[in-house]
Amino acid sequence: MIKSSSTNEISAIDKKHVIHPTTNPYLHAKQGPKAVFAKGSGVNVIDAEGRSFMDGVSMLWNVNTGHGQKELAAAAYEQMAEIAYGSQFYGFTNKPAAQLAEKLAALAPGSLDSVFFTSGGSESNDTAFKLARFYWQQHGYSQKNKIISLQRGYHGVTVSAQRATGIDAFRNFSGSKDPDILNAKAHLTECELGDRSHPDYKGCIRSIIEKEGADRVAAVILEPVQGAGGVHLPPEGYVEAVRALCDEHNVLMIADEVICGFGRTGEMFGMNHWNVTPDLMCIAKGITSGYAQLGGVLISEKVNKVIVQYDNVLAHGFTYSGHPTACAVGLKNIEIIERDGLVARAKEMGDELKKGLQYLQDKHRCVAKPRNLGLLAGFDLMKDPEASLPFHDSVKAANTLVEECFDRNLIIRPFDFEEGMNIVAIAPPLVITKQEMENMITIIDEALTAVS
């Protein structure tokens, strides 16, 4: 039973006992938590004092079907009352895990028909790297183990996912290393198509494959739209160029769909925008809309063929791989996404969001490069966008804007991981209405007035 305590008591306990992820620990120890969330409903979260906030980022871009979905609570309850947990190790299984795997195979593009379940995005990416390396080992290429990721990409915080992340603050945290992961410059379509005279050629994926040798490169990983690196959409033709490059050099392509999957961008998966099928596809977050911890790697027939011929123990797996309760929630969550047409809604509301961002750019001089794909959006804050003049490195305009929005009961997210980086992200739950979208833009509009 959770004890009933006042917000002040909870804050004091939290300050004393909890280390928070991706939070400044020094400031947290002084200031305590910003809010104690107690309830949620649709696009809103309500704190323990009853103050309601609009959740403009779906918490961590994961609450796709919105807060307070009683059907998901019921699915978890019903499964827990039957059997809450059963392992997938040693060949055991359970109904929700098998049925969710079947559903994912039906939804995913191409022949991504098998799934290895995990508990989240980082585990999924580490699993994909291991499977890619394993795949080539089984083909007799024992040194084909390098993974190429992109600058500004975010893939999580387990050691390999951390090294694949192309944001220095995460990539270098604590000095953990997977030396076989290399970081390439992002989104250089011409270079990936083979333009060696391009000034940025050195450092693109193609140049790294050429330098390392294709017989040493296992896979390339990329997000359809880069999220935590600042919401960067790939230029036209880029994703297709990377697919062709991977095919040309016999390198596997891994899509990190942890944010983009399950409707976020107005398609069920981000890769659908370009009709590209990766060899391995990592999912998490939106699969359960955050109601339970679940992730997975969808595996193509090509890779799966090699796995199922391995006549030995596949020595990889998590206690919570295929967790029955999490999978039951995942199944119900996908049912809600399909039943309520949330993929189409993300597209439609994404068009509204685009208009809203354009309005903000037209009105506020500091708003630069507004961008979105469905309900995954961001913009830069600059001193003078026309002159390409950023704010001084010490000016944390994104943080100021986010604080101003928070004071007006809207949660959005700042990115200031690197010097001079002043970006905010917006990614509301897919259930957002047109009226709620207008309210959100109005709040940002007012908050921007306070910033600029």
**Which one among 97, 128, 258, 366 touches ligand PLP, defined by CB under 6 A?**
258
Q: Does 284 bind ligand PLP (CB under 6 A)?
A: yes
- Give the side-chain half-sphere CA count within 13 A for 404: 19
- Output 227 or 374, the one with its CB closest to ligand PLP: 227
Residues within window 26-65 making contact with ligand PLP, judged by CB under 6 A:
60
* Least CB distance to ligand PLP at residue 309 (A): 29
- Output 122 or 300, the one with its CB closest to ligand PLP: 122
Rounded Cα–Cα distance for residues 226 and 234 (Å): 8
Torsion over CA: 60, 120, 105, 235 (sign) = positive
* Least CB distance to ligand PLP at residue 269 (A): 13
* Least CB distance to ligand PLP at residue 301 (A): 24
- Output 382 or 421, the one with its CB closest to ligand PLP: 421
Selected range binding ligand PLP among 150-158, 202-210, 378-386, 442-450, rule: CB under 6 A = 150-158
- Output 42 or 120, the one with its CB closest to ligand PLP: 120
- Output 283 or 299, the one with its CB closest to ligand PLP: 283
Number of residues that bind ligand PLP (CB under 6 A): 15
Task: Give how far the C-alpha of residue 287 lies from the chain's centroid of Cα atoms, to the nearest Å.
Answer: 11
Rounded Cα–Cα distance for residues 110 and 247 (Å): 15
- Output 382 or 427, the one with its CB closest to ligand PLP: 427
257 phi and psi, to 5 degrees? -100, 20
CB 296 within 8 A of CB 283: yes
Among the listed residues 424, 328, 339, 323, the one whose alpha carbon sits nearest the alpha carbon of residue 378? 424
Rounded Cα–Cα distance for residues 279 and 146 (Å): 16
Selected range binding ligand PLP among 43-51, 119-127, 200-208, 345-353, rule: CB under 6 A = 119-127
Torsion over CA: 263, 438, 44, 370 (sign) = positive
Residue nearest to ligand PLP (CB): 121
267 phi and psi, to 5 degrees? -135, 160
* Least CB distance to ligand PLP at residue 194 (A): 28
**Which one among 96, 109, 156, 374 touches ligand PLP, defined by CB under 6 A?**
156
* Least CB distance to ligand PLP at residue 227 (A): 5
**Which one among 134, 154, 201, 391 touches ligand PLP, defined by CB under 6 A?**
154
Q: 3-state class of 337 per DSSP? A: helix
Cα–Cα distances in angstroms (integers) from residue 448 to residues 168, 270, 386, 431, in the given order? 28, 30, 18, 25
What is the x/- site pattern for ligand PLP, positions 218-257, by CB under 6 A?
-----x---xx---------------------------x-
Q: What is the dihedral of CA 176, 123, 414, 204, to 10 degrees?
A: 70
Q: Which two three-digit tokens encode residue 431?
A: 């259930």
How is 95-114 classified by DSSP, letter by letter? HHHHHHHHHHHHHSSTTEEE
**Which one among 32, 121, 230, 324 touches ligand PLP, defined by CB under 6 A?**
121
- Output 161 or 382, the one with its CB closest to ligand PLP: 161
* Least CB distance to ligand PLP at residue 284 (A): 5
Among the listed residues 57, 217, 230, the one whose alpha carbon sits nearest the alpha carbon of residue 141? 217
- Output 260 or 342, the one with its CB closest to ligand PLP: 260
- Output 65 or 207, the one with its CB closest to ligand PLP: 65
Q: 238-248 and 205-212 helices cross at what angle (nearest 10)?
A: 10
* Least CB distance to ligand PLP at residue 62 (A): 8
- Strand 367-373 relative to strand 295-300, pairing: unpaired
Q: Does 126 bind ligand PLP (CB under 6 A)?
A: no
Number of alpha helices (DSSP H) and beta strands (DSSP E) in the chain: 16, 15
List residues binding ligand PLP (CB under 6 A).
60, 120-122, 125, 154-156, 223, 227-228, 256, 258-259, 284
